[in-house]
Every structure is written in C-alpha cells, then in structure tokens.
Structure 1
C-alpha cells in the first residue's frame, strides 16, 4: 500500500492521432492536442496548459487545441490534495506526509481544480511532456535525414536541421517508436521567441463569443426532457407533503421524481417543469430549529466559550506579554457569502442499461463519477462524466449534487434529462463561505512595534465539510455532524502573518452551525486577511505610525512584499492614510505570491463609490501575463463584492433575498479605475493568481472609508456595520 508506483499513462488517441505520453497528441495534419485535466472556469487554464506544452514543443500556436482529460493517475492534483490532507497526514506520517498524499492522489485519480494550484501542480509535467514530444519528433526526422537528433529543432510545427524540413504531423507516427534519452533537454527560458511569457490569444474565447461553446444547459440529446428541482430550506431534513394534482394540471408536465430530501418535476420544457414545481408546493421538515442570523451569531459566540479550540500558528508565548499590560482589543465579524456565479447548477444525464452519461461543469470529475455511481448503485466504470465549461464557479462547482440528481431523475424518467436549478434554488442551496468572528488582541511596544498578537477565530470548518460531502459522499447533514467540534488549520489559513511579531498565536474555535459551508474564492484567507489587516491598521493608529511605515518596519524577512507595498503606494499616490484622504492599503502573502492593494473610495448617494483600485503583485514568471492580469482584476472585483454584499441574511432557514440584484454586488460605476502591476521576477516559477486578488480588498476598503467617516468598519458587508 505504501510502495510508490510508476505510471506509464498514454492519452487516448483517435484515428490519425499519435499520443506522446499522457498530455500530448499530434495528428496527421500537425495539430497539437493538449490534454487538460483541469476545469475551465473562465480562469484560462486551457490556454495556459496549451501554452506551456506548445512553447516547449515548438508548435505553431494556430494549430494547438485542447481536450479535457479522462480519469487517470497522472492527472491528479497533488497540491490541492496536500492542502486538504496536510494536517492529519503529516501528523501520521511526519516527513513522509507529502509523499503519502501524492501517492493517495495518484492512486485515486484525484482530479481537482481549485486553490490556484493548476499551473503550479502541472507546470513541470507539461514542460516534460512538450520536451519529450519535441525530442521524439526530432529523433524521427534525424533518422530520415541520417543526422544527429541534437542538430534538429522544431519551430512553428516544422522540424529542421538547417537543411531539411518536415512537418511534425508527417512523422508523428514514426516518432512514437523512438526511446527518450535519460535526460530531457529543455529550451532556454529567456528566448526572444518564447511563447511562455507572451499574451497568446486565449483558446476558449472564440467559441464563447460565437456561442458554439457548450455549457450544461446547451446539451441537446434525442428525446430529452427537462427537470426543475426543489430541495427545501438550508437545513431541510425531508419532504413532508406535495400537491400532485395541482402540478399535473400544467400543460407539458410529464412526471414527478421524489428522493430523500428533494422533489423534481419533468416536462417537455424547463418553463413548464418550473411552473408545475411551483404548483406542487412541496413542504419540507427541518433537521432542527429554524436557522436565522441571530442563531448564526450565537453559534459563533458560543464557540469561543467551548473547549474545542486549538492553536495552529504560534511563535513565542503571548500570555506573559499580555499579563498586567495595556493591550489593544478589537472584535471583527463576517457574514456568510454566497458564490452567485452567472450559471446556476446544471447537468444533463442519460441513463441506459450499463451505461450512464452525465454532462456537467465540475471541479472534481472523478469524485462526481463516484457519487453518481453510488447513487445509482452501478459500477463506477459504467459512468462517464463529460466536464464542460463552467459559467463561473468561485468554488461552488466542486459540489456534485446536480450531476447526481440529473442521473437519478433520468433513470426514473427513462429518458435523457436536463436539470437546471432556478436562481432562487441556487441561492437557497448554496454552500457559502462560512460566517466567522475574530477576537483580536495585541500589545504595542514603546517604539510602536507589535510585541504580542493573539487572534481567536470562531468559524465552521468549511473545507473539512466539503471533503466529507464530495470526497466521502456524505449528505450535508452528515458532513456537518462529522466535522462538528473539530478545529481545522484550514479555517484560519492566511493568518500566519509575514510580520515580525515575536509572540504570536492564532486559534480556531469550531462553530457548529446548521448552514453547510463550501469552498470559496480565497477560502479562509478572505476573512482572515480582513481580520488581520484591519487590526494592523488600528494598531498603526494607536501607535501614531503611518500605516504603510507601520507594516514595512515589521517586514524585514519579506522584501518582496515590501516592494509590492512601496510600489503600490507610489503608483496609487498614497497620502499616508490621512483623515479625509479616502485611501486604504493592505497586503497579503498566499502560496508564495505577494500582493499589495490600495483602494481609494468614498460615499455617493448612500452607496460606496470606489474611485480607484491599485494592485501590485509578485507571483513569479507568469505563463500569460494578460490572463494573469485578468485574474487579479477579477479577484479585486470579487473581493469588492464580498466587502459590499453577497451576504444572504437568513430567516426561517431561508435566505432573505432571492435575486442577484438584491445582493449589493458592485456595478461598473462603483468600481472606478483598476490598475494591476506585476513586479519582474523572471527567475521565479509561475504561481497561481486566481485567488490572491481577493483577500486584501476588504481591509483596504474599510480603512479607506474610515478616513472619510471617522468610524471603524469591523464587519462584512461593510455598509451599515460600524464600530
């Protein structure tokens, strides 16, 4: 069980295609097809993976295509698996922990997208795949010309030794028969014609613009019918009653499918299914008392009084520093935050004897396949999941519910079924970023340095819940029970600060709330950074030191973060956080990447109006700078949405608002100018930037607004929450 294995996986090749390992295929026409095991969520992963391979191979970018990869061990996302299992596995295996997780991920074919890990996890694999294909193609050409293969190279899909030329498609089949040398030669990184590091056109955009890209709701199958679903309040336990007679009066309605905890209606079109579902008027029983905002707040407060808290980050000893000393205290809170992607949950399924097919956007296709097989009680090998483009996710497409439901409905209806959650259903059944509260305490020294820091955070263990649901196939209620009372380092991720504070401690107090929580863009870093950076700003005010200088004096061990801060301050015209300036600044370090964000904002007609956001990022050598910039810009807007809205508010176990327009999401007029600058770091390996743009926005905005109003904003969403 523990002995490492070696995997010689080959990509599935169609007629006329030749596979070069697991990641690269070349067809007779010279098209290079890159196998991509990651979900395309709009973050550009199809383009980035293809760019890495094409650069190393020497392909013509105009002839490069991508194909979603089927399940396989070499497609496992080891980095994201380490994130989930790092704590318990390292406690069990010590220094062997990473190897143990990697082996588990491979043997389980744990294909996952998330955590800004895609490029970091597969970068070396893709480089090797491109280099291997180039070497084999050069060997085949050299054999034809009776020259040394080292004298050959590939440029724009053509192999040449300086005298002869041949297209890679003409020799692909021959090339597959050669044997690779012990050491693969890689291309120099600083080439003038390098594809990596250039703003290569995105591969997914043309199909999205002309409408030919398929999403789950675009799939059309012969004899397909449509389904609408109702799952009840957030803590629904089961279906109590329905009005079947009223539902059957809707023209086009076909049937009703009841399962544990939900009911669906099938019809000739989705509109008829949804109308019949409304008339069905399902009533649900609850697993406990009705959930509301007061119950959520009380559960967070009760967590601090419990004895399940655990410390995860610690330096020195804070207690002696705080004893009989004057300390600074502040309490912070964040509300649950919904994902709210433009595409609600959707899936299309066809169930036949011994053959189950499901089309769905998913960040965990292998786990989705396992869940579908378990629900239908069929062999996993009989289930095929076709991963599609996702119309936004922010973490919610890690959940597999829609695929399971579509398969169950299709089996019951004995026809292909397309299931689409309504917007209200998507809001009600969302597993949001968890609510959290923090009790921050610090002691300042006579020169303004922080001598002691304590952060106590009450929050549910959201990522542990996700793994119980998705990885173990537990229901929402079972996942809540499995993680109850268990502290988790991932619930306070991002709070191990870069500042040189000699006595430092962060504790997590698990809060048991009947609200299932999920993955979210930035995860715990999103609220942890709001707590930490807002408190840093308050400490700077107490110490009488300008906020930027206050940070820099404690960042001697992180010069890259200092450079981000100083560059951001220069580009943004930092005025020192003066009263009335409307400026706030914050920084964060996440998975080896660094960011500083300056926000300039004020109030206009009762709304927060952001005039400008400036972000400076150090994230290694980016594969495609334009895509990286898009990701940071998107992260900034997402962070702004979390600061201003996205909080549902719960009453009687239901969100108060059911429409996107009710969630205070920023409009174009609210965001102002957005400037993103990347620092040159050509020697650094590429680092994912899908999440790092999110965490620092809220504390920077809160500080900016404080300079206008004179109040401290210690809760998210910000408006109406002051201290």
Structure 2
C-alpha cells in the first residue's frame, strides 16, 4: 500500500500547526479564521422523510430515524445514542430506527482527537491548543469510534437534537390549534396540548421543519415517562438473531466475485514468487493479482480463492530481523537503557525517600494480546472509472475513505463509503488496509469484489495490544502507608503507531520504527496510582519490538492495571496488612473507587485474602468510571480455573444500564481471556499458534458465576468497555498467590507450550 500523500497538510498536528505566526492563539486565528465554520447536514431524504438536523430524520408515517456516526462493534452505541435523542424528543421507542452517518465534519470526534493528539506543545498552548485540535478534527472530518468516547462526545448533541425536534413539532401542532407552543409536549410519539387534542408526529412533521427554533432550547424536565436510564431492548438485536443483519461479508452485488489474500510474514515483507500454475485446476478461480506486498486470488466463491492461494504457495522476502518472542522480550528489556525514556508523571520528590531506604522492587511482563474478533477483516468494493463504493466496518470512516481515494487516484468526494456494523474489532478496525485492497482488486477486475481475510491471515496480520515490561519499586512507611512509588514501563505506544498508519499511511513496520523514540503519556494509561502516595514517578521507555501493535479494548490500561494492582498486593503482604484495608486507607480522595472495593468485597464474601482462600482483589479507574473486581480462582492441572467473578462498578448515570452490564460482563471475559491466553508465540516472523482452540481461551466451563453490580451514581456516564478488561487479570493473579504462595507477574499467567 502506497504511503499516503498529506493532502491539505492533513493528519499531522505538529509545532508548525500549533505555532503559526507569532503566538499560538493569534497564529491559529490568522491561519484558520477564513475557513468555513458552519456545516449543513448532508443527509439524503427518502420519499416522505424530513431532515430535522444532522442527527435526525422523521418520515410522515412517524418513524424516527436516528443518524449515528459511530461504528457499532457490539458495544450498543446504535441503541444508546438513539435512546438519548428519543428520550428528549418524547418518542415511542417502537418507532425508532438507525441509519449510519455519512462522512461529515458534523460528526467529528474531537474528544478522542484531544486524547490522542495532545502533546507537550498543545498543553503549553492551553485553550488555544485544545481549540486547534478541535478545529483540526472538525475540518478533517475525523470520525473516530472508541468504545468509551461515543456517549461522552455525543451525549449533548443527541439530547439537543431531540429537544429541537420536540420544539418544532410542538410549534407545528400549536399553530394548528392556535395555542402557545410552550403548552404542548410530545409524549410516547404523540404531540398533545395536555387537553384532548393529539396529533401523531408523522402528521405534523412536514409543517414542523418550516418553523424556526428559539434561541434557547428548553430541555425536558422531570422523570415521568423518560426513556433514559431504562433497560430498553437493543435496536440491533432482532436482525442479529434472525440473520438479516448485514456485515461486510454479507453484501451481495450484481456480478460480484470473491477474493482471498496473502501478505507474508510480519514486517517489511516483499512478494518474491508464487506458483500460480499449481492452482489452475481449482474450479471457479478467475485470476491472481499481485502487488509488491501481497498476492490475492479472485474466484466465483471465497473457498476457491483461498484454496488457490494455498496451492500457489506464495514466497515472501523479509527484510530485517524476523519477529520472534525472544526478540520481543529482549527489545523490551533493552528499552530500559534507551535514551528516549522520559519521566512523564511525577509528584513530590522520590530521591530523599528512596535514598538509603529498604524498598520493594518487582518486575512484571505482559505479552501482546491478539484481537481475535468473530468477524475477520472484510470489505466489498465496486469501482468505475470516476467513482468507487466501499462497504466495510471501520472505526475511522473519513480516514478510510481518504486511503481508498489515494489508492485509486480519485478525490475523496468520488468515494462513497457505507459503514457497516462489525463483528467485534476492539480497535482493530481503525486500520483500513482491507478496504484499500478490496478497492484495488475491484478496479483491476472491472467488477465488484468482496475480499475476506482467512482466520490465519487475520491472526498473522493482527496489530495486537502492546506487550510491556515494568520495573516497580516502592518504600513503605509507618502504618503501611506508601511513601514513595516508582514505575518504569518499557513498551511501544499503540496510539502513536495506529495514528501513523491510519492517518499518515505509514506501513506497519514503518510506523513501529518511526515512533520507537517517542515517549507518550498514552502508553502509561493506568500507571498513575489512584492512591494517596505523596511521592511518585512514572517513566516511559518507548521501544520498537519488531511486532506492529495497535489499539485494543482497554489499551495501555491492560498492563497499567496489572502492574499497579499486582504490586499493591505485594506491598500489602510486605506490610502485613489485609489487601482491601491496605488499599482503602489510601483512597480517602477517591470515595467512588473505595465504595466499589467495599461493595465487591461484601458481595463476594471477602475473607481477607488469607492463605488458601483463592480470593483476589483489584481496583481500577479509567474513562470516568471506577471498578473493583473480586475473583475466586485456582489451578486445576495446568489450567487456570476461575469459579467466581464479582465486579462492583461506578460508571455514572448510564443511558441504558443493561448495555452497561453487557459491556462489563464482556470485558470481564475478555480480561479472563488475556489472563489465560489470547496471545501467540512468534518465530521467524509468524505466529506459531493461529488456531483458536490452541490459544487457551476461556470456555463456558472455565468461567463460573459472574456478578456485576452497578452502583447508583448521578455523575455523567463514564466508560464501560475497557475498565473490566483491565481489572480482572490482576485480581486473578492476586487470588493465585493465596493458593500457591507464588507471585504471578506475567500475562498470560500460566506458561504454555
């Protein structure tokens, strides 16, 4: 895949972008002041449909069509965002439908852009730096889906969209009845004046769009009849149950053919040869297509295409050292000696605390965790001379569209992207190489092509969660209080690598090398202890481990929580204190997290972490949420056995509590998978284990009882997608210590073949 052109100077927010002219604020105002600031909705309206605003259409039958820009990957975003709008509108939930949003600046995720793109320069620029990032995101239509940013980013937009529609409908009905519009309301999809007069939404929507909104939108008051906070049924469940839901591999177009692909080993691999004649006997094979870094087979069905690739046995030349597990470990250890290491978080002064003192020091390690989504990477493309259409699941549709346009030599406007729901992904679908490949194949074939990677290809080309090593040290004072804390982390940064690939078009091995000397706070998420420690420091040592890595569910908090909470248990043991009390005494400033700990302990029948109990605790905060997990675990034969998981979570005022529970339960199981397996050893540039049944993943018999308690909270909703993933593995490790007397300082917890 060719390296992207940086059209419009796009996708690189650097010193020049932030410091245009004499000063940050003045320079940015001069440089961007002439850019357009108002964007009109670009929604297509079907027969009988009225566009209310960028987030809502209503048809004359009364159907509420909510426009959702976020990718649905199973997290329930296509129910939560419509539920916010429908609640404020006063809609009947049975009339609500969902439509994916087109690429537009109106749907830019500036919240996620701030998290990813903020650096020392933007922080120094203060408000001007945040403004610059927001404008950059909007003007480049950075539509980004991260499972825990969707509701915080768009909550107010959907609430206001619902309020606007309600006001317009009330104005239209009031005009008919000759009453003040303020006396009207929308209840269960019906406009009423509170007396006997009633009109269904569809009856007045055509008139409603002609009215003007007041300067201030009145929001709905009271709790009677509200949809927010209810366990409403998910809108995507019925079609997923009956099989009518369309994923990328379900798309069918006239004259369409199917493709499979091989891309060689991990790293800088170039296609050297392929014995195409060996596959000529495969029924249905149409053609082989080659590029510098891949070969694809196109056939009348996918099985024929994949079989043909097996028979032609492509050979690749790998430049540079092949990735292997030993090399990854060596690189992580060598990272601690790198000059690129930086102290990114600090409080107090550690030197006088540690000098001459007896400290506890421990080393930890986490292997790269594979994504392993249910749906492998897939895309369908139809390309003509002057335009292209792409059907795929993507977490960055604007960037995906631009990458396809670049590959085909078209303008962005000539590419139509139809964003589909994905069968999982958890960050993997920020990469868009499958869409680019499908587009190139369709252009070459002159007919629609559906490209689906095999499971083996999906594992080989995965961009797993980052591996990491940590060196932890702490000094205990009187009463078991921690006086000093030092954490050194050697790890690549998933966000910086992923951004280089998806925004700048860097090849995976290029992105890994280019970011190897860039220390980032994003690689230390979860490493700043939530406890009241007067003196602490956290250092990041960036490194290229040879394995390109990517965004994942929980991201750096996966290893951040593991290192922090396992080390906390070691300190509690050294202090001779019960692990929960040890934590609670240092959580005076974190009452929500302390409440989670005491609740999980009470629900789980916490026995104090005594020897032989098989119980372990861990606590974690991220994305505005707080959680504590208690597990009961042991080892049966050579396999981890978890009989019980109890999670107490304060995730704020959730729009749909049942979806929050689903996310937390799913996160607990994914965290268990990371503790048990979900990784692959690497040798000679390839994973040596690519069959799911050999990865030690949890099965139903391995899980036991799962209890999730959502704590009542009036604060804005926090994230639910990653917090349980991060908290469960350290809890299991701490439980195993009570059974074996040994510390388990590596993930996965048990050594495997």
Instruction: Give yes or no for TM over 0.5.
Output: yes
| Counterpart Cα distance in 1 of 2:732 and 2:455 | 29
* Higher deviation after alignment, 110-119 or 88-97: 88-97
State whether structure 2 residue 741 is matched by structure 1 residue 706. Answer: no
1:182 equivalent among 203, 208, 215: 215
Structure 2 CA distance for partners of 1:346 and 1:122, relative to 1, 3 Å: same
Corresponding position of 2:28: none
Q: Indicate yes or no: 2:629 matched with 1:597.
A: yes
Specify which of 256, 263, 282 is matched with residue 224 of structure 1.
Answer: 256
Q: 1:165 aligns with which of 198, 211, 222?
A: 198
Aligned-pair CA distance for 1:544: 0.6
- Output one character per residue of 1:46-99: Cα deviation in whole Å (capped at 9) or x when no partner: 111111111100111111101000011121111111111122552452232222
Partner secondary structure for residue 599 of structure 2: helix
| Distance across 1 between alignment mates of 2:45 and 2:125 | 39
Q: Would the aligned equivalents of 2:474 and 2:483 in 1 still touch at CA under 8 Å?
A: yes
Distance 1:687 1:668, change over 3 A: same
Q: Which residue of 2 aligns with 1:131?
A: 163
SS at match of 1:699: helix
Q: 1: CA distance between counterparts of 2:80 and 2:646?
A: 25
Cα distance in 1 between the residues matched to 2:601 and 2:635: 22
Q: How far is the alpha carbon of 1:39 from its aligned partner?
A: 0.6
For residue 661 of structure 1, what is the aligned residue in structure 2? 693
Contiguous gaps of at least 5 residues in structure 1: none
Helix, strand or coil at the partner of 2:118: helix
Displacement of 1:248: 2.2
The Cα of 1:164 is off from its aligned counterpart by 1.2
Q: Tell whether the 8 Å contact from 1:2 to 1:100 is kept in structure 2 after alignment.
A: no
Q: Which residue of 2 aligns with 1:510?
A: 542
Task: Tell me which of 531, 538, 544 is aligned to 2:570.
Answer: 538
Moved over 6 A (4+): none
Provide the residue aligned with 2:475 in structure 1: 443
CA contact (8 A) 1:234 1:428 kept: yes
The alpha carbon displacement at 1:581 in A equals 0.4
1:519-569, Cα deviation, whole Å (9 max, x unpaired): 010000010110000000000000111100110111111111110100110
Secondary structure of residue in 1 paired with 2:712: coil
Q: Deviations over 1:120-147 (max 9, x none)?
A: 1000000000000000110011011110
- Whole-angstrom distance in 1 between the partners of 2:121 and 2:312: 48
Do structure 1's residue 324 and structure 2's residue 356 form an aligned pair? yes
* Deviation, structure 1 residue 287: 2.5
Please give the per-residue CA displacement for 1:453-478, whole angstroms capped at 9, x wherever unaligned: 00000001221000000011111122
Partner residue of 2:92 out of 33, 41, 60 = 60
CA contact (8 A) 1:8 1:21 kept: no
* Separation of aligned partners in 1, 2:620 and 2:155: 24
Secondary structure of 1:494's counterpart equals: coil
Q: Return the match for 2:462 from 430, 446, 467.
A: 430
How many Å separate the matches in 1 of 2:323 and 2:64?
A: 53
Tell me the SS of whatever aligns to 1:147. coil
Shift, 1:249, TM fit: 2.7
Q: Map of 1:201-280 to 2, 5 A cutoff? A: 201-280=233-312
Confirm or deny that 1:101 pairs with 2:133. yes
Cα distance 1:182–1:89, how it changes in 2: closer, same or farther (>3 A)?
farther
Does the aligned pair in 1 maintain the 2:39–2:105 contact within 8 Å? no
**Residue 606 of structure 1, CA deviation:** 2.7
Kindly indicate whether the alpha-carbon contact (under 8 Å) linking 1:236 and 1:284 is maintained by their aligned counterparts in 2: no
- SS of the residue 2:479 aligns to: coil
Task: Give CA-to-partner distance per residue, 1:392-449, whole Å, 9 cap, x none.
Answer: 1111111101100100111111111111100000000000011100000101112211
Shift of 1:260: 2.1
Q: Is the 8 A contact 2:624 2:719 kept in 1?
A: no
What secondary structure does 1:451 align onto? strand
Partner-residue secondary structure (3-state), 1:305: coil
Match of 2:652 among 615, 620, 639: 620
Alignment gaps of 5+ in structure 2: 1-30
Distance 1:482 1:176 in 2: 51
Q: Residue 33 in 1 paired to residue 58 in 2?
A: no
Q: Could you say which residue in structure 1 is the equivalent of 2:675?
A: 643
Distance 1:287 1:372 in 2: 27
Aligned partner (choices 467, 492, 501) of residue 533 of structure 2: 501
Larger mean Cα displacement after TM superposition, 162-171 or 118-127? 162-171
Q: Secondary structure at the match of 1:701?
A: helix
Paired with 1:7 and 1:607, the residues of 2 have a C-alpha distance of 59
- The residue aligned with 1:587 is 619
Q: Contact 2:262 / 2:295 at 8 angstroms: preserved in 1?
A: yes
The normalised TM-score by structure 1 is 0.98
C-alpha separation in 1, matches of 2:75 and 2:467: 26
Q: Distance in 1 between matches of 2:691 and 2:616?
A: 31
What is the rounded CA distance, in whole Å, between the counterparts of 1:237 and 1:209 in structure 2?
41
The answer to which of 325-334 and 439-448 deviates more is 439-448
The separation in 1 between residues aligned to 2:310 and 2:281, in whole angstroms, is: 12
Matches of 2:183 and 2:617, distance apart in 1: 54
Residue of structure 2 equivalent to 1:122:
154
Corresponding residue number in structure 2 for 1:12: 44
Shift of 1:5: 5.6
Given the alignment, which residue of 641, 648, 657 partners 1:609? 641
Shift of 1:2: 3.6
Q: Report the Cα offset of residue 264 of structure 1.
A: 0.4
* 8 Å contact from structure 1 (residues 7, 74) kept in 2: no
Conservation of the 8 A alpha-carbon contact between 2:624 and 2:717: no
- 1:243–1:282 CA contact under 8 A, matched in 2: yes
Checking the alignment, whether the CA contact within 8 Å between 2:266 and 2:322 is kept in structure 1 is no
What is the distance in 1 between the residues matched to 2:710 and 2:123?
Answer: 37
Instruction: Find the counterpart in structure 2 of residue 717 from structure 1.
Output: 748
Distance apart, 1:220 and its partner CA: 0.7
Give secondary structure in 2 for the equivalent of 1:464. helix
1:145 matched residue in structure 2: 177
Q: CA deviation at 1:370?
A: 0.5
Contact 1:330 1:439 in 2 (8 A): yes
Partner of 1:384: 416
Tell me the residue number matched to 1:71. 103
CA distance in 1, matches of 2:37, 2:57: 21
What residue in structure 1 maps to residue 5 of structure 2? Answer: none
**2:712 match:** 680
Verify: 1:482 aligned to 2:527, yes or no.
no
Cα deviations across residues 145-170 of structure 1 (Å, max 9, x unaligned)? 11000000001111010231111111
Q: Is 1:304 paired with 2:336?
A: yes
- In structure 2, distance between residues paired with 1:579 and 1:192: 51
Q: Contact (CA 8 Å) 2:619, 2:629: kept in 1 or not? A: yes
Deviation at 1:481, TM superposition (A): 2.5
Q: Say if 2:269 and 2:316, in contact at 8 Å, map to a contact too.
A: yes
